[in-house]
Chains A and B, each alone.
Chain A
Amino acid sequence: MKEFIEGSLAVAEAVKLCKPGVVSAYPITPQTHIVEELASMVADGKLNAQFVNVESEHSAASVVLGSEATGTRSYTATSSQGLFYMMEVVFNIAGMRLPIVMTCANRAVSAPINIWNDQQDSISLRDSGWVQLFAEDIQEAVDLHFIAYKLAEDKSIMLPVMVCMDGFILTHGIETVDMPSQEQVDKYLPKYNTTYKLDVTNPISMGLLAGPDYYMETRFAIEETHKDILKLLPKLTADFAKIFGRTYNGLVEEYQVKDAEKVIVALGSVCGTVKEVVDELRSKGKKVGLLKITSYRPFPAEAIYEALKNVPKVAVLDRAVSLGSFAPVSSEIKAVFTSKKKKPQVISNFVVGLGGRDITKESIKEMFKLLSAKELTNEFIDLKPELLKESYEQ
C-alpha cells in the first residue's frame, strides 16, 4: 500500500513487519523517531516485542546481543556518537556471528558536535565484520531492512547487517513509499530459527576465549562469509523482486554508465541528486553516469571493476574522511584497479557534504567539471574560503 510517510516512521513500520522479539535502543538524533515509533507500536499492542529502554548505546547493543543469543530476532538503531559508543559491542556481535539488524541514521562525528548528515560514523566501523548496506531513498531504506534480516539469518551467513540511511535527509524526509503487506514479508522472511542459542535443554557456551591457536581462523571465516554474501545478495534481491515487485542489484547500481565518459561513484541519498544531474547533462548530450554502491561491506570489487573498467574518468564522492590519508571510498575504488589492464585514465576523489553541508546539483556539476585529465586527491567541494582565511590568520 502506498503511503506518504516520514523515513523514520517507514523504517519503523518495516521493522515491525519483520516481527522482532526484542528491540533495544538509546535516544540519539537523528535516529530517535524510528525507536519512538517502535515504542508506541509496542505500547499500543501492535508489535509483540520486548522493548528494553537502556541507559546507553553500549547497553542497547549488549541487550540485543543477549536477546539474539537466545534465538530471538532483535533490532536496534543508532547514529554517530551512539554507534561509536557501541563500537566494541559492534565488533563483538560480528565475532559471535549474531545476525542482528541495526539501522544507522548516518550523522557526523564530534568534535565539533554536529547532528547533521555525513557518513563518517558507519564508514569508521567498516572493519567490524558487519554487512553495511546504504539506502538511496526511503523506499530503499524500507526494503533493505527485509533484505537485511533475510541475509543476516541465512544459515550460510550468520552475520549482522547495518542498514545505513542518511540522517535527516532520509530519516526526516517524507516520500511516497510502497509499504508491503505482512503476507509479503512473511513469505520472504520466515521465522528465525537457529541451532546455536542459549537453551537450558541444550546447554552450550558462547563467547569463548580463543588464543593464538584459534583466533585467526575466526577472522578468516568472516572474511570468507563476506565473499559468499557477494554471491548471495543478488539472489536475495531477485527473490525480493518476485514478491515485492521492486528490483535491486544489492551490490551496485549502474545509472547511465555503459557509454559514459565521466562517472561519479557514491553511496546513499546523494545518488538521487547525482541521477538528476546526470539526466540534465545527458539531455545536453554529455556522456555522464553514476555508479551507486549499495553494499559497502562486503565491498563489491568485481562488480565495480566490471562497471568502471571502460570509463575514462571516474570521480569518487566521499562523505567521510580518513584524516591524514585518502578518503575511504576513493582509496578502495583505486585499489580495485591496481594492476588491472583495463582501468579509468583518471580516478579523482571529492570530499563533500561533511557535517550536513548541502550537496546541491551545482556541487555535482562542479565535480563533473573538475573531473578532467588532472587527477585530484581529497578535493574538498563547497569549502568556504572566508572561513579558512579566518582560521589561517588567527
Chain B
Amino acid sequence: MSSNLFNAGHTACAGCGQSMAARLVIEASGQNTVVVNNTGCLEVFSTAYPQTAWGVPWIHSLFENAAAVASGVEAGLIYSGKKEGTNVIAQGGDGSTADIGLQALSGMLERGHDILYVCYDNEAYMNTGVQRSGLTPFDTNTTTSPVGVKSTGNIRPKKPMPEIANAHGIAYVATASAGFPQDLQRKVKKAMSLKGPKYIQVHVPCPLGWRHEPAQTVNVAKLAVDTGLYPLIEYENGKLIGVRQIQPKPVEEYIKVQGRFKHLTNNPEEIKKIQEIADHNIEKYGLRVKTETAADVKSDTRP
C-alpha cells in the first residue's frame, strides 16, 4: 500500500491487528476524510509528537469524547460548506467505545450526524496493560479479571455493542475483522455511501494482550469468525442484510492458540460454556452454511 493516508514508521507492536485495520479503514474511506481519535493504543503509537502517521486531517482530544468531537467537526464543516464530499470518522478502542465513551457515542448516533464510528475491538484495555473492558469475552484472563482459585477469568460475556448501536435506528451497523481485509474495506465503503450515523466494530487481535504469536494475528482473527465467536454481520436501517456464513469450527481451536485462555486447557466445563456462546451466535444470526459449496461461494460474494 502506498497511499500515505496512514504511514509506516509508527510504533505499534509487531502483529498489531489494530494498526492493520486502521490502515484498511482510512484507505477505504480515502483522502477526503477527517479522523477523530479517542485516546488509546492507536492514538499513542501513531501520533507521538513530533511525528504523525496520518496523511489525513486528524485530531485527538480525550479518552471518551471522539464521538462528540466528531459531532463538532461535522457541524463545523457543515457551517463552512465543506461537509459535502468529506467523510468524518470517529474511532477508538473497545474500552473508549463500549465503556467510558458509550454516552458520547449514543449521543452522536441519536443526533443523526453523518459520521462513521469505528470501534477497534481488541477486547481489553491494552494501552494501560490488558485490563478487562465491557467487550472482554467470557472467561478471559486479564489483569483485572485474573484467573485464580475462585476465578476462571472475566465473569461476563461481551456487551452487545452492535445491537446497542443498531437500537439507535441508524443507517448502518456492521462487524468486521482484521482477518477479512476485503470484507472490512467493503463495509467501510458501504457505510460511506450512506448518510447519517454508521457504526463498524472491527475485531483486532492483540498479540501482547491475547498472548499469541505476532505472525498469527490474521489466523487468530479468522478463527474467531470461523468458530462463531465473532459473527460478521451487517444491518442497514435496522435490518439484518448479511452475515458471513461459516462451517463452524469448535471453539477450542480458537482458545488453544491464545495465552489469555490457557487456563481453560483442561477445563471442559468452561469450554462448554464458551461453545454455548458460539452456538447461540450461530443460531441467532443463522451463521451455519448449508453446504460446503455454498460456503465457498458465499465467503467471496458477501453479502
Contacts and interface: CB of A to CB of B under 8 A. Distances in A.
B33 A67 contact: no
Contacts of B72: 22, 24, 52, 62-70, 74
A58 B104 contact: yes
A21 interface: yes
Contacts of A66: 36, 59, 61, 68-76
Contacts of B36: 66
Given A55-B103, A63-B75, A64-B72, A206 B55 contact: no
Interface string A59-85: 100111111111110100000000000
A293 interface: no
Contacts of A211: 48-49
B58 A203 contact: yes
Interface residues of B, number: 45
A59 B56 contact: no
B129 interface: no
Contact of A204 (B57, B76, B82, B86): B57
Contact of A72 (B71, B76, B103): B76
A49 to B, nearest CB: 7
A22 B59 contact: no
Interface string B257-278: 0000000000000000000000
B76 A67 contact: yes
A54 interface: yes
Nearest to A205: B52
Interface string B1-37: 0000000000000000000000000000001111010
B107 interface: yes
Contacts of A207: 47, 59-61
30 contacts: A21-B75, A50-B75, A59-B71, A59-B107, A62-B65, A66-B69, A66-B72, A67-B73, A67-B76, A69-B73, A72-B76, A88-B62, A89-B62, A89-B65, A92-B62, A198-B57, A198-B59, A198-B76, A200-B31, A202-B57, A203-B54, A203-B55, A203-B57, A205-B47, A205-B59, A206-B58, A207-B61, A208-B60, A209-B43, A210-B49
Given A54-B68, A59-B103, A59-B104, 6 more contacts: A59-B67, A62-B71, A65-B69, A66-B75, A69-B59, A204-B58
Interface of A: 21-22, 24, 48-50, 52-56, 58-59, 62-72, 74, 88-89, 92, 96, 198-200, 202-211, 214
